[in-house]
Amino acid sequence: MKNAVGREIPVGIAGYNIAPYQGPWSCIPSRQASGGKCINVSASEKVLKSIDAAIDAVGLRDGMTISFHHHLRNGDFVMKLVVDAIARKGIRGLKVAASSLSAVQDAIMPHLEAGVIVAIDTSGIRGEIGKFVSAGKLPNPVMIRTHGGRARAVESGELPIDVAFIGAPACDRYGNINGVDGPAACGSLGYAIVDAACAEKVVAITDNLLDYPLQRISIPQTQVDFIVKVDSIGNPQGISTGSLRISTNPQELLISQYAATAIEYSGYFRNNFSLQLGSGGPSLSAAKFIKEKMQAKGITAAFGVGGITGIFVEMMEEGLVNLLFDAQSFDSRAIQSLRQNPRHLEMSASYYASPGTCGPIVNHVDAVILSATEVDINFNANVLTGSNGKLMGAPGGHPDTAAGSNLCIVALPLVRKNFPVIRESVHTIVTPGETVDVIVTDRGVAINPLRKDLIYNLKDSGLPIMQIEDLQRLAYEITGTPGPKPAGGEIVGLVEYRDGTIIDVIRKMG
């Protein structure tokens, strides 16, 4: 048959699926918002007047999955703005797939109660939403994922996202986005990068709409369908703390000192080692001690990974760390550094931690210091619930970096508020004991018996090393033996291990 330019085109050649040409703008390939000249004379089609208009434009309807990133943390306005607008339209039965939920998201509680949202997929869950889930009021079990596991699930299609709503600190008029410029700058967009690449439709919500094209691009225009300008996407005070302070609590300093010493003697403390530090107290304080040890021995690190904080930036600026890989910027100094320093690199959650790739960067971390709500005599760690089962935390990258790193240290006090946190069995297993190498407390240090190399290396460290069971007994001596784990009711949540299997469940409480 003849095509639109009059050429004879065969329609049947074995092995080829042949469609004759119909004109330069007649055939719209899938996921194509704009085909060319007919549209490109102005970029304004992507910029819509309101979130309502964007909801219409993407065809959002009952039962779909919408996603959000949590880089704006406790300052985020985007989720509430979007879900309020969806609710006003009468759309119901949605799944919210969030990279995490902060306390600020309690603002969407009315929409959980009203059935606008009936399912949640997240890393963290706490506050009123946590109570709602624990009370068995969400119609579907909540799915708890690690940062790497979520990236794996999104990229593999296991967690399909219909519409990603992306809070964009800087966005040009054709959808190029970054997180470092603007009044609500949050730094890295590591979680959002995965959603933008994989969602069926992407809507950028920005309070900083800029002329085309952006110089610095973290999420490209090719992935962004529509843009909505709002007054503000977030409260800077809630997005980042000014700068995280190192503890002056002597117990916490002792734990941090032990953790730093464990690294020093582990065998991994050598030139060009790599380090991950979280934003928790022990990690931050340990950074100070590690820094002193590095300076004393003249050792520098090839790279740091995180969750990046100001103290890590300081180490880079002082020449102690060569490169920083940043999936999430925790404070204003980290945000500023990511903006300015070419040795401070943004990475996606997939690059950070997904086990579904050819190898995330956690596989190359030598030493990481993590916290936990409780650990048990099998070295299992709980970072999601309290010992009573209350939802109050997030796996985050904990299981990912524990599995990837050469030396995973969990640092925590032996006892918190007269409750033992070294137990016979944790309430919720989030990070399996095989991946936790050393547990550091203020009263003693336990080494995983699987790690004979570490037992050998740390024997002259001067650390108060003991068996994990002895630590547990010591804790129980102080607090008394805790009662049995509450049985709980029906299943209200699933705790996914990073590889997609289910490592534990969350049951109805009370």
Q: Of 226-245, which residues contact a second copy (CB under 8 A)?
A: none
Least distance in angstroms from the C-beta of 255 to a second copy: 24
> Which 22-61 residues touch a second copy, going by CB under 8 A?
22-37, 39-41, 43, 46
- Taking the complex as a whole, the smallest distance from the CB of residue 202 to a second copy amounts, in Å, to 7
Does position 484 interact with a second copy (CB under 8 A)? The reply is: no
Residue 221 CB, nearest approach to a second copy (Å): 6
Between 102 and 274, name the residue whose CB sits nearer to a second copy.
274
Q: Does 459 bind a second copy (CB under 8 A)?
A: no
Q: What are phi and psi of 121, to 5 degrees?
A: -125, 120
| 141 backbone dihedrals φ, ψ, rounded to 5° | -60, 135
175 is a site residue for a second copy (CB under 8 A): yes
Nearer to a second copy, 370 or 415 (CB): 370
Instruction: Show the tokens assigned to 1.
Output: 């048959």
Which residues, 6+ apart, have CB-to-CB distance to 101 below 8 Å?
Answer: 70, 120, 122, 124, 125, 126, 127, 129
Among 212, 459, 477, 478, binds a second copy (CB under 8 A): 212
15 in contact with a second copy (CB under 8 A): yes
- Nearer residue to a second copy within complex by CB, 75 or 141: 141
Q: Which residue, 327 or 415, is less far from a second copy as judged by CB?
A: 327
Residue 196 or residue 253: which is nearer to a second copy going by CB?
196
- Both tokens of 430, joined, read 């989030």
Site residues (CB under 8 A) for a second copy, limited to 273-292: none
Q: Kind of pairing, strands 301-308 and 273-277?
A: parallel
363 touching a second copy, by CB under 8 A: yes
- Least separation in angstroms between residue 29's CB and a second copy is 4
Q: Is 21 in the site for a second copy (CB under 8 A)?
A: yes
Number of residues that bind a second copy (CB under 8 A): 99
Report the C-alpha gap between 108 and 79 in whole angstroms: 8
Out of 92, 209, 210, 222, the residue judged to bind a second copy by CB under 8 A = 222
Min dist CB 437 to a second copy, Å, is 9
Name the nearest CA neighbour of 504 among 376, 407, 355.
376
Residue 505 as a binder of a second copy (CB under 8 A): the answer is: yes
CA–CA separation, 330 vs 323, rounded Å? 17
Sign of the Cα pseudo-torsion (327, 330, 334, 335, in order): positive
Q: Which of 7, 137, 245, 270 forms a contact with a second copy (CB under 8 A)?
A: 7
| Beta carbon of residue 415, minimum distance to a second copy (angstroms, whole number) | 24
Residue with Cβ nearer a second copy (99 or 405): 405
Contacts within 8 Å (CB) and 24+ apart, 257-261: 257/286, 257/289, 258/411, 258/440, 258/441, 258/442, 258/445, 258/463, 258/464, 259/286, 259/289, 259/369, 259/409, 259/411, 259/440, 260/286, 260/289, 260/290, 260/293, 261/289, 261/461, 261/462, 261/463
Q: Which residues pair with 493 in a beta bridge?
A: 142, 506
Q: Within positions 415 to 434, which residues make up the interface with a second copy, using CB under 8 A?
A: 429, 432-434
Q: State which of positions 377-416 bind a second copy (CB under 8 A).
A: 378, 380, 399, 403-406
Residue with tokens 């909540």, as numbered in its chain: 142
Among 102, 223, 256, 266, which residue sits at the site for a second copy (rule: CB under 8 A)?
223
In the region spanning residues 189 to 208, those forming contacts with a second copy, defined by CB under 8 A, are 202
Q: Kindly indicate which of the ranges 55-63, 215-223, 385-393, 464-472 contains the residues binding a second copy, using the contact rule CB under 8 A.
A: 215-223
Nearer to a second copy, 156 or 237 (CB): 156
Q: Which amino acid is at 487?
A: A
DSSP string, 120-181: EEES---HHHHHHHHTT-SSS-EEE--HHHHHHHHHHTSS--SEEEEEESEEETT--EESSS
Nearer of residues 33 and 290 to a second copy, judged by Cβ:
33
Closer Cβ to a second copy, 482 or 500, answer by number: 500
Within residues 306-335, the interface with a second copy by CB under 8 A covers 323, 325
What is d(CA 260, CA 257) in angstroms, rounded to the nearest whole number?
5
Binding mask 126-165 vs a second copy (x if CB under 8 A, - otherwise)? --------------xx-x--------x---x-x-------
Of 234, 202, 205, 220, give the one whose Cα is nearest residue 335: 234
Kindly state the DSSP code that residue 226 receives in the 8-state scheme: E
Binding of residue 3 to a second copy (CB under 8 A): yes
Start-to-end C-alpha separation, the chain: 72
472 contacts a second copy (rule: CB under 8 A): no
The DSSP element (H or E) to which 281 belongs, if any, is: helix 281-297
